[in-house]
Structure 1
Amino acid sequence: MAGEILDNQGRGEASWRWPAIHPEARKFAAIAAVLCALFAFLAWETVAWPMGLLVFCICAFFRDPQRVTPQGDRYIVAPADGLVTLIQKVPPPRELAIDDGSAAARLGEAPVTRISIFMSVFDVHINRAPIGGTVRRVIYIPGRFLNADLDKASEENERQHILIERGDGTAIGFTQIAGLVARRIVPFVKPGDMLAAGQRVGLIRFGSRVDVYLPEGTDSRVLLGQKIVAGETILAEIGQAGPIEGIMQ
């Protein structure tokens, strides 16, 4: 049940359930289903079966499972499912750093830790808010469609920046980046919206990446090569810094 409280002392009820399918899937699945039915009617089974498989793949891609988001003022949770492919100190994007004259929060120009999360076509592509707060900026930038795994994709690919400000003034910026196959970034939020941590904010169709910019003085609590889950994995704790090592095995 949405909104149910679960904790580390056993409170609540947890069970496996089929994930919901996001409405964005409807038109793609409907087209594939119609083609499947047409080819089946024409007895073109060698084409009808792959089209039927395509319907299943589309529904799987747009799956929208429920997530249990850790609650805590210091937690920054993952905005995307996927693989941590880059952790670097970089200046924030200009669109999130400059003063736009609105007196709203911005990230500043000092280098901060950026965590890049690569989403393959097998990952859930619904993106979620890393913190609770007010959406201050949503900035779409057209661009190229390079491999989202490349570092330069952060500056050259089609992308959308989102900035969220907490009540205490702490701001977190993150960027949805289109990849080789992705051709559309779909936002669910706009400036002024109030969000809870883990709330759905958008999706990127068919393989992509999300970059998260941590506040100054905060280091990643996840490791390079780690597989993470949107709305559940704690990326960082605000104000916590220092190296963490892992062993691939």
Structure 2
Amino acid sequence: MFHKEGAKIILISTTLTVVLLLVIDHFITLPWLRMGTMLVVLFFLVMILQFFRNPKRAVDISDNHIIAPVDGKVVVIEEVYEAEYFKDQRLQVSIFMSPINVHVTRYPVNGRINFSKYHPGKYLVAWHPKASTENERTTVVVENRIFGEILYRQIAGALAKRIVNYAEAGMQVVQGTDAGFIKFGSRVDLFLPLGTEINVQLNQKAVGGKTIIATKS
């Protein structure tokens, strides 16, 4: 299954692929060159299709844990000063997504959206230290009955040119459901209350909607 945000790109890419294959078949006479060129065209179509895939996942919904909002690798676990909304110290957990990861963003907890804001910005590589404050990004705060307010931030990378965010202030959201999409490479930062029990390690692979980032008993 594919994400709705990829519908237009998939349609255009599929149509263009069919046209190119017909042109190649008609104009290239050398069998090895014709086959090789066709395979290259099909490869790019497959890459686009896999980027917009949207796998259905059974989510263990619970207010006692925070799940990974995206697929990727855990690249940051540290205490930082969150300057936009909380203006105090928080535990930051960051997940980096490569172009081959699923790029659907999922709500990490159940709760009410208290804040949602889009920021235009630069397109530094997603692991750059200033990416979280200078790149194009969205900031969303969800209030959960167990953890209180948690913040997640979608951050565009060097290739990502559009962030899609479905969260609006006042919405009640369900853990693991579709919160948005980031096109072509990026990362997501989570900002959690100090003292939160973190269940992941640096360089661990996270699976959106499945991996438990933090728990609270």
Fold equivalence (TM over 0.5): yes
CA displacement at 1:169 relative to structure 2: 7.6
- The one-letter amino acid of 2:108's match is P
d(CA) in 2 for partners of 1:27 and 1:93? 37
Partner residue, 1:204: 182
Q: More displaced, 199-208 or 54-63?
A: 54-63
- The one-letter amino acid of 1:124's match is V
Partner residue, 2:129: 151
CA displacement at 1:236 relative to structure 2: 0.6
**Contact 1:77/1:131, CA 8 A, preserved across alignment:** yes
**4+ runs deviating over 6 angstroms:** none
Identity within the alignment, %: 36
More strand by share: 2
User: Which structure exhibits the higher relative contact order, with contacts defined as CA atoms closer than 8 Å and separated by 6 or more residues?
Assistant: 2
RMSD, aligned CA:
1.7
Q: More displaced, 67-76 or 219-228?
A: 67-76
Partner residue, 2:10: 29
What is the aligned length? 208
More helix by share: 2
1:221 and 2:199 correspond: yes
Partner residue, 2:91: 113
Partner residue, 2:52: 62
Of 42, 47, 52, which aligns to 2:23? 42
Partner residue, 1:135: 113
SS in structure 2 at match of 1:64: coil
Which ranges of structure 1 fall in alignment gaps of 5 or more residues? 1-19, 98-108, 240-249
Partner residue, 1:188: 166
Show CA shifts across 1:169-204 (max 9, x none).
811100000001000001123222211111110010
CA displacement at 1:220 relative to structure 2: 1.9
d(CA) in 1 for partners of 2:18 and 2:200? 46
**Contact 2:146/2:216, CA 8 A, preserved across alignment:** no
CA displacement at 1:143 relative to structure 2: 0.7
Q: More displaced, 164-173 or 151-160?
A: 164-173
CA displacement at 1:48 relative to structure 2: 4.5
CA displacement at 1:49 relative to structure 2: 3.7
CA displacement at 1:168 relative to structure 2: 5.9
TM-score for both structures, normalised by structure 2: 0.89
CA displacement at 1:137 relative to structure 2: 1.2
Q: More displaced, 121-130 or 70-79?
A: 70-79
SS in structure 2 at match of 1:211: strand
Change (3 A) 1:169 1:71: closer
